[in-house]
């Protein structure tokens, strides 16, 4: 078997080793099934996917029970994933200037026929919001060689902007800068007291200067700063001119000269958060970028910071389309959320392991293979999980293997509980009639 197969088994075993014995084996079997792409062939059905992964009937039932009834916390798994990545020292965190991008976004797993699904997510193909299991994602960007990959670091089970910002504020560190799309407004950031951010503004964005102009001695005394309109627009066939910028910058990117117009010290009407606006014009694109930030950095640094936001899109793309998480047939209240969470976790694992492992050619025609998650999934799809678990010698040959890792592998097993003294089958849940004492009731 290829080396990535054994490395994946070893990595998943270390990832779930801290979970309760028995539950960790079921979660490991689920993650292996998702990373190997078995949900694609089964079209989202859990038991056929587990069976195709080489699991027995008992193992499949335990894995499904771990998905439905276990009390695991996906946030703990994400913390464990970050710890393992730091321990391997095969990647570095992306740093732009002196800042580390902290990416947030929303993803929807569409369930149009799921009963009791009241949340919706916008679908570009349908052009409207459809019933979906909506999750808020938080991720950091890693650098492996010349590649940049996103690693999930947090999830919330709702699509509220304020809830996601509140969760992001708890995970952000001093050198982190929040990167978000147009859905996040300045008012949201001010409500959650978040600093160090770069977000994208609307084309018709307007704000006010912080400084209030001096009175001219005529008319009412000014109470607010002047209105700043970074971009011109048309209203009823009339052109509303843009406000002149405070200063202009130029920088070169991929051989093109980009121009940046800066508007400093702005506030929203009724707000107190001071920020800056940067309009970046790229000759390759028709519409300019309008970025809002409170950082006193150059336009080039702000441009590179916001470009890193696109990497978070790889998580739903890999977890849904590449690994088969876009379709699922689970209906329990916990399973409908836990399966999408595990798909996004499996996407992070697949992106990281594929980038840090040797690329595997698809066939003789693949002369220059690249370490992509698609090729990595094909290598795992031909392996069977029970067969991998029996080959301990191949695992010991990996550089990541050690005595501590061998001890972790021993924890990923079935829990041998004593249950011979307990009733089984119908007798265990048969209703028993209550025995009442015979009491004679006599009246006067």
Q: What is the per-residue pLDDT across 82-109, written as a single tens digit (0 to 9) for each?
A: 999 999 999 999 999 899 999 999 999 9
Torsion angle defined by CA atoms of residues 224, 225, 230 and 231, in that order, rounded to the nearest 10 degrees: 50
The model's pLDDT over 372-386, given as tens digits with 9 standing for 90+, comes to 999 999 888 888 776
- Tell me how crowded residue 171 is: count the other CB atoms within 10 A of its CB: 16
Mean pLDDT, the chain, whole residue set:
89
C-alpha–C-alpha distance, residues 242 and 435, integer Å: 86
What are the sequence ranges of the domains in the chain? 3-72+358-411, 86-213+222-313
Strand partners, 248: 261
C-alpha–C-alpha distance, residues 164 and 105, integer Å: 9
Write down the pTM of the prediction: 0.89
Provide the residue count of the chain. 444
pLDDT by residue for the chain (444 residues), tens only, comes to 677 888 898 899 899 999 998 899 999 999 999 999 999 989 999 999 999 998 999 999 999 999 998 888 899 999 999 999 999 999 999 999 899 999 999 999 999 889 888 899 998 888 899 999 999 999 999 999 889 999 999 999 988 999 999 999 999 999 999 999 999 999 999 999 999 999 999 999 999 999 888 887 787 888 888 999 999 988 888 998 999 999 999 999 999 999 999 999 999 988 899 999 999 999 998 999 999 999 999 999 999 999 999 999 999 999 999 999 999 889 989 999 999 999 999 999 999 999 998 888 888 888 888 889 999 998 888 887 766 666 666 676 677 777 777 777 778 888 877 767 778 777 777 666 555 445 444 444
- In the chain, what is the straight-line distance between the N-terminal and C-terminal CA atoms, in Å? 90
């Amino acid at each position: 078997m290829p080396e990535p197969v054994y490395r994946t088994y070893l990595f998943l075993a270390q990832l779930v080793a801290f979970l309760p014995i028995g539950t960790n084996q079921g979660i490991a079997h689920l993650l292996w099934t998702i990373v190997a792409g078995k949900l694609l062939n089964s079209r989202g059905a859990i038991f056929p996917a587990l069976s195709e992964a080489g699991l027995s009937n008992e193992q499949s039932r335990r894995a499904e029970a771990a998905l439905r009834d276990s009390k695991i916390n996906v946030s703990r798994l994400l913390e464990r994933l970050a710890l393992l990545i730091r321990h391997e020292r095969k990647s570095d965190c992306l740093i732009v200037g002196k800042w580390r991008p902290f990416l947030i976004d929303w993803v929807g797993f569409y369930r149009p026929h799921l009963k009791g699904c009241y949340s919706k997510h916008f679908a570009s193909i349908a052009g409207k919001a459809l019933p979906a299991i909506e999750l808020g994602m938080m991720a950091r960007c890693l650098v492996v060689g010349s590649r940049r990959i996103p690693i999930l670091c947090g999830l919330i089970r709702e699509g509220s902007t304020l809830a996601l910002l509140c969760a992001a504020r708890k995970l952000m560190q001093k050198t982190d800068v929040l990167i978000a799309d147009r859905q996040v407004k300045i008012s949201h950031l001010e409500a959650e007291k978040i600093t160090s951010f770069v977000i994208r503004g609307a084309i018709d964005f307007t704000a006010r200067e912080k400084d209030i102009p001096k009175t001219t001695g005529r008319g009412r005394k000014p109470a607010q700063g002047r209105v700043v309109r970074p971009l011109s627009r048309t209203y009823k066939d009339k052109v509303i001119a843009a406000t002149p910028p405070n200063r202009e910058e130029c920088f070169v990117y991929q051989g093109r000269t980009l121009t940046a117009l800066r508007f400093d010290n702005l506030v929203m009407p009724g707000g107190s958060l001071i920020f800056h606006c940067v309009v970046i014009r790229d000759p390759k694109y028709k519409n300019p970028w309008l970025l809002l930030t409170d950082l006193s950095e150059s336009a080039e640094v702000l441009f590179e910071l916001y470009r890193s936001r696109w990497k978070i899109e790889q998580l739903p793309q890999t977890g849904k389309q590449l690994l088969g998480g876009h379709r699922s047939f689970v209906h329990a209240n916990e399973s409908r959320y836990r399966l999408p969470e595990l798909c996004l976790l499996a996407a992070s694992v697949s992106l990281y392991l594929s980038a840090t492992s040797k690329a595997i050619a698809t066939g003789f025609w693949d002369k220059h293979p690249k370490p992509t998650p698609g090729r990595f999934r094909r290598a795992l799809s031909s392996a069977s999980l029970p067969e991998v678990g029996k080959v301990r010698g191949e695992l010991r040959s990996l550089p990541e293997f050690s005595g501590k890792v061998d001890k972790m592998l021993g924890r990923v097993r079935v829990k041998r509980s004593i249950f011979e003294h307990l009733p089984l089958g119908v007798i265990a849940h048969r209703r028993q009639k209550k025995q009442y004492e015979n009491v004679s009731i006599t009246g006067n």
